[in-house]
Structure 1
Amino acid sequence: MKLTILGGGGFRVPLVYGALLQDHAEGRVTHVVLHDLDTGRLSAVTRVLAEQAAGVPDAPEVSATTDLDEALRGADFVFSAIRVGGLEGRANDERVALAEGVLGQETVGAGGIAYGLRTVPVAVDIARRVARLAPEAWVINFTNPAGLVTEAMSRHLGDRVIGICDSPVGLGRRIARVLGANPKEAWIDYVGLNHLGWVRGLHVAGRDELPRLLGDPDLLGSFEEGKLFGVDWLRSLGAIPNEYLHYYYFNREAVRAYQQAEKTRGAFLHDQQARFYAEMTNPDAPALKVWDDTRAEREATYMAENRETAGAGERDEDDLSGGYEKVALALMRAIARDERTTLILNVRNRRTLSVLDTDAVIEVPCHVDANGAHPVTVEPLPDHATGLVCAVKAVEREVLSAADSGSQATAVKAFALHPLVDSVNVARRLVEGYTEVHPGLAYLR
């Protein structure tokens, strides 16, 4: 089976390959094609993968190319993990937003909109090529903003594109762990959009254990989200929010922390990964060790500003192991081998949430089999969550419309309607600022 990874020179690709190396069953991936526009990055990642495969007799073959059509032809699965504009683009997203006093995070608020506006046209081109060159392939979208990009691609690929994220998986795992439950045996009642969802229940053997967690202040305050949001706020919500909702519930504090930080997250990763890829030009460098050390630093500093604002301290060691590659592998196995499973995924709504139309991409538990991912019916969200979901989905739709039409006025509308952008004039200045620093937004007129 052939797997094509778009953005194959990306830093997190070895996580995916490491997961593939543990799969020795019939029907596994035997050929991995890395596609990237940067030959230096491809070379660096290929070296890491070669060291990972050392001593594994049935390791998947790895090849690399800068030709997108060549990479797609004959693919059974396509992982889309591109970053349009690179980490320099992410750093600019943060900088422009923070100068206007609003959040610049890569998937939330102004930064997420800017990232979406330059990514959607590229993602749509990829979707069209997949439909033409590999019509039977399944596309698994890692590219952020994951829900928005998945919805853009679904307009050309239908249900054959599925978005994944490790945040809900990590959240469910942490809740199960603190409750003394096996995450593999728990049903997680999670619903929302990507980076905008809530766990409303965790069922073990037919019993919802979440009330026990919410009723025990010591237990509730003992894990990441309890420390991040605070026990009182979680008990008020009656649910455990995805960590990215910290940007909404504590927006002023988050913006202030990012403004005061020595470096934004994007600038930090830009410099860190620049060092990694520079070191990989040394043929004697131990590629896998250098990559692993860099990854550990990356994971330990994740959402550091938010944790500092909340006084949450360092991340627990158990939360430093990633997870999105495991979701991707489980998803591939379920489809390729009909190994039926349940995963939290980004898929078209169908009739799952009545407040959204059938084509809106949402993030919910799905039953997965050889025919793809099927969203599970969920209870309606409370009004406060419904309002936020509908507002952010409306913004995503304006982003898609702006990307399709090239309308600068529609792009301004997308920014202005977002709950974390507090002025139409700010929205106008954001579009001006982003257009100046991003060549990929030159299509807006």
Structure 2
Amino acid sequence: MKLTILGGGGFRVPLVYGALLGDHAEGRVTRVVLHDLDADRLSAVTRVLAEQATGVSDAPEVSATTDLDEALTGADFVFSAIRVGGLEGRANDERVALAEGVLGQETVGAGGIAYGLRTVPVAENIARRVARVAPDAWVINFTNPAGLVTEAMSRHLGDRVIGICDSPVGLGRRIARVLGANPGEAWIDYVGLNHLGWVRGLRINGRDELPRLLADPDLLGSFEEGKLFGTDWLQSLGAIPNEYLHYYYFNREAVRAYSQAEKTRGAFLRDQQAGFYDEMKRPDAAALTAWDRTRAEREATYMAEARETAGAGERDADDLSGGYEKVALALMRAIARDERTTLILNVRNRRTLSVLDAEAVIEVPCLVDANGAHPVTVDPLPDHASGLVCSVKAVEREVLAAAESGSRATAVKAFALHPLVDSVNVARRLVDGYTAVHPGLAYLK
């Protein structure tokens, strides 16, 4: 089975390959094709993968190409993990937003809109190419903003594109762990949009154990989200929010922390990963060792500003192991082998959430089989959550409309309507600032 990874020179690709190395069952991935526009990055990642495969007799064959059609031809699965504008673009997203006193995080607020505006046209072009060159392939999208990009691609690929994210998986794992349960045996009642969802229940043997967690302040404050949001707020919500909701519930504090940081997250990653790729230009460099070292530092500093704002301290060691690659592998196995499973995924709504239309991509538990991912019926959201979901989905729709029409006015509307951008004038200045630094936004007129 052939897996094509778009963004194949990306830093997290070895996580995916590492997961594939542990799969020895019939029907597994036997060939991996890396595609990227940057040949040097492809070379660096290929070296890491070669060292990972040392001693694994049935390791998937790896090849690399800068030709998209060559990469897609014959693919059974396409894993999309591109970053339009690179980490320099992410750093600019943060800088321009902070200059206006608003959040520039890559998937939330002004930064997420800017990232979406330059990514959607590229993602849609990829979707059209997949439909033409590899019409039977399944596309697994991890490109951020994951829900927005998945919805854009679904307009060309329908249900054959599925978005994944490791945040809900990690959240469910942490809750199960503090409750003394096996995460693999727990049913997680999670619903929302990508990076905008809530765990409302965690059932073990049919019994919801979340009320027990919410009633115990010591237990509730013992894991990442309890430290991040505070036990009182979680008890008020009656749910455990995705960690990215910290940017909404504590927005002023988050903006202040980002503004006072020596480097924004994007600037830190840009410089850190530049060091890794520069090191890989040396023929004698130990590729896997360098990658492991860089990854450990990357994971340990994840959402550092938010944790500092909340006084949450360092991340627990158990939370430094990633997770999206495991979701991707489980999803591919379920479809390719009809190994039925349940995963939290980004899929078209159909009739799952009544406040949204059928085409809206949401993030919910799905039953997965050979025919794809099928969203599970969930209870309605409470009003406060429903209002936020509808508001952010409206912004996503304006981003899609702006990408399709090239309308600067529509782009301004997208920024102005976002709950974390509090002024139409700020929205106009944001569009001016972003178009000045991002060549990929030159299409906005």
Q: TM-score, normalised by structure 2?
A: 1.00
**1:250-289 Cα shifts (integer Å, max 9, x gaps):** 0000000000000000000000000000000011111000
**1:308-364 Cα shifts (integer Å, max 9, x gaps):** 000000000000000000000000000000000000000000000000000000000
Question: C-alpha displacement at 1:113, in angstroms?
Answer: 0.1
**SS of corresponding position for 2:222:** coil
CA distance in 2 between partners of 1:2 and 1:182 (Å): 32
Matched with 1:173 is 173
CA distance in 1 between partners of 2:285 and 2:432 (Å): 43
Question: C-alpha displacement at 1:22, in angstroms?
Answer: 0.2
CA distance in 2 between partners of 1:168 and 1:47 (Å): 31
Matched with 1:341 is 341
Question: C-alpha displacement at 1:47, in angstroms?
Answer: 0.1
CA distance in 2 between partners of 1:195 and 1:406 (Å): 26
CA distance in 2 between partners of 1:50 and 1:33 (Å): 13
**1:398-423 Cα shifts (integer Å, max 9, x gaps):** 00000000000000000000000000
**SS of corresponding position for 2:350:** coil
**SS of corresponding position for 2:140:** strand
Question: C-alpha displacement at 1:211, in angstroms?
Answer: 0.2
1:45 maps to 2:45: yes
Question: C-alpha displacement at 1:60, in angstroms?
Answer: 0.2
**SS of corresponding position for 1:192:** strand
Question: C-alpha displacement at 1:228, in angstroms?
Answer: 0.2
**1:9-65 Cα shifts (integer Å, max 9, x gaps):** 000000000000000000000000000000100000000000000000000000000
Question: C-alpha displacement at 1:385, in angstroms?
Answer: 0.1
CA distance in 2 between partners of 1:184 and 1:25 (Å): 20
**SS of corresponding position for 1:63:** strand
CA distance in 2 between partners of 1:359 and 1:276 (Å): 40
CA distance in 1 between partners of 2:90 and 2:219 (Å): 36
Question: C-alpha displacement at 1:443, in angstroms?
Answer: 0.2
**SS of corresponding position for 1:352:** coil
CA distance in 2 between partners of 1:7 and 1:331 (Å): 19
Question: C-alpha displacement at 1:186, in angstroms?
Answer: 0.2
Question: C-alpha displacement at 1:217, in angstroms?
Answer: 0.3
**SS of corresponding position for 1:314:** coil
Matched with 2:394 is 394
Q: TM-score, normalised by structure 1?
A: 1.00
CA distance in 2 between partners of 1:358 and 1:173 (Å): 29
Question: C-alpha displacement at 1:2, in angstroms?
Answer: 0.3
**1:215-238 Cα shifts (integer Å, max 9, x gaps):** 000000000000000000000000
**SS of corresponding position for 1:347:** strand
**SS of corresponding position for 1:381:** coil
CA distance in 2 between partners of 1:356 and 1:418 (Å): 17
Question: C-alpha displacement at 1:188, in angstroms?
Answer: 0.1
**1:136-168 Cα shifts (integer Å, max 9, x gaps):** 000000100000000000000000000000000
CA distance in 1 between partners of 2:29 and 2:310 (Å): 43
CA distance in 1 between partners of 2:133 and 2:285 (Å): 38
Question: C-alpha displacement at 1:125, in angstroms?
Answer: 0.2
Question: C-alpha displacement at 1:181, in angstroms?
Answer: 0.4
CA distance in 2 between partners of 1:3 and 1:390 (Å): 35
Question: C-alpha displacement at 1:87, in angstroms?
Answer: 0.1
CA distance in 2 between partners of 1:72 and 1:401 (Å): 27
Unmatched 5+ residue regions in structure 1?
Answer: none
Question: C-alpha displacement at 1:112, in angstroms?
Answer: 0.1
CA distance in 2 between partners of 1:84 and 1:394 (Å): 23
CA distance in 2 between partners of 1:13 and 1:39 (Å): 15
CA RMSD of aligned residues (A): 0.2
Question: C-alpha displacement at 1:376, in angstroms?
Answer: 0.1
Question: C-alpha displacement at 1:116, in angstroms?
Answer: 0.1
Give the length in aligned residue pairs: 445
Q: Equivalent residues in 2 for 1:345-360 (5 A)?
A: 345-360=345-360
CA distance in 2 between partners of 1:412 and 1:186 (Å): 43
CA distance in 2 between partners of 1:340 and 1:66 (Å): 35
Question: C-alpha displacement at 1:90, in angstroms?
Answer: 0.1
CA distance in 2 between partners of 1:48 and 1:70 (Å): 22
Unmatched 5+ residue regions in structure 2?
Answer: none
Question: C-alpha displacement at 1:96, in angstroms?
Answer: 0.1
**SS of corresponding position for 1:162:** strand
Question: C-alpha displacement at 1:377, in angstroms?
Answer: 0.1
CA distance in 2 between partners of 1:112 and 1:6 (Å): 20
**1:355-374 Cα shifts (integer Å, max 9, x gaps):** 00000000000000000000
**SS of corresponding position for 1:335:** helix
**SS of corresponding position for 2:364:** strand
Q: Equivalent residues in 2 for 1:52-63 (5 A)?
A: 52-63=52-63
CA distance in 2 between partners of 1:32 and 1:184 (Å): 28
1:162 maps to 2:162: yes
Question: C-alpha displacement at 1:189, in angstroms?
Answer: 0.1
**SS of corresponding position for 2:357:** coil
CA distance in 2 between partners of 1:56 and 1:182 (Å): 30
CA distance in 1 between partners of 2:275 and 2:133 (Å): 36
Matched with 1:108 is 108
CA distance in 2 between partners of 1:118 and 1:19 (Å): 30
**SS of corresponding position for 1:150:** helix
CA distance in 2 between partners of 1:407 and 1:309 (Å): 37
Matched with 1:317 is 317
Question: C-alpha displacement at 1:178, in angstroms?
Answer: 0.2
